[in-house]
Amino acid sequence: MDLQKLIRDIPDFPKPGIVFKDITPMLLAPKALAYSADQLATLCKEASIDKVIGIEARGFILGGMLAERLNAGFVPVRKKGKLPYTVNSKAYGLEYGEDVLEIHTDAIRKGDRVVIHDDVLATGGTANAVCELVRELGGEVVQCNFIMELAFLKGRERLDCEIASLLTY
């Protein structure tokens, strides 16, 4: 299946100079959704996974589908102030700005084998912050996976774990 046809480029969003990779056409196609989740599950099927983390907000969609396929729990990592229980927080830099991500303190147990999922790997700041949140709670990051990787931003170089993506730009 050609997923690339279902990813739309939006120039100058949310800021001038950024080409935003819009996955909403892909979300409209049920077969593409199922195919993507199956492919991501295949990429980590050898590992026994306890938790899949989805990064707010676009990481929730395939992250949830992947958790179901791996028979793992799903953990939302959200922007500051959105999670209701006690949290650990981490500030991070984005391709276009800065923010704080949070995780519930009971979401990861010591020794949990964790997969982190998001739609896009850009500079790697977001995924790296989530890796740190997982490790601080005693979890092991088995893989970070993405629908797509913007290779020219070299996010890979910032992450010290296995990385998998369905598409590379």
Of the pair 46, 54, the CB lying nearest ligand AMP is at 54
Among 36, 155, 163, 165, binds ligand AMP (CB under 6 A): 155
The distance of closest approach from Cβ of residue 130 to ligand AMP in the complex, given in angstroms and rounded to an integer, is 10
Selected catalytic residue, list 95, 132, 140, 162: 95
The distance of closest approach from Cβ of residue 77 to ligand AMP in the complex, given in angstroms and rounded to an integer, is 10
Among 51, 58, 78, 90, binds ligand AMP (CB under 6 A): 58
Of the pair 53, 121, the CB lying nearest ligand AMP is at 121
Stretch that binds ligand AMP, among 25-33, 61-69, 82-90, 119-127 (CB under 6 A): 119-127
* Gyration radius of the chain's alpha carbons: 15
Integer CA distances (angstroms), 40 to 13, 46, 151, 163, in order: 27, 12, 18, 11
- Per rule CB under 6 A, is residue 122 in the interface with ligand AMP? yes
* Catalytic site includes residue 102: no
Q: Which residues bind ligand AMP (CB under 6 A)?
A: 18-21, 55, 58, 94-95, 118-126, 155
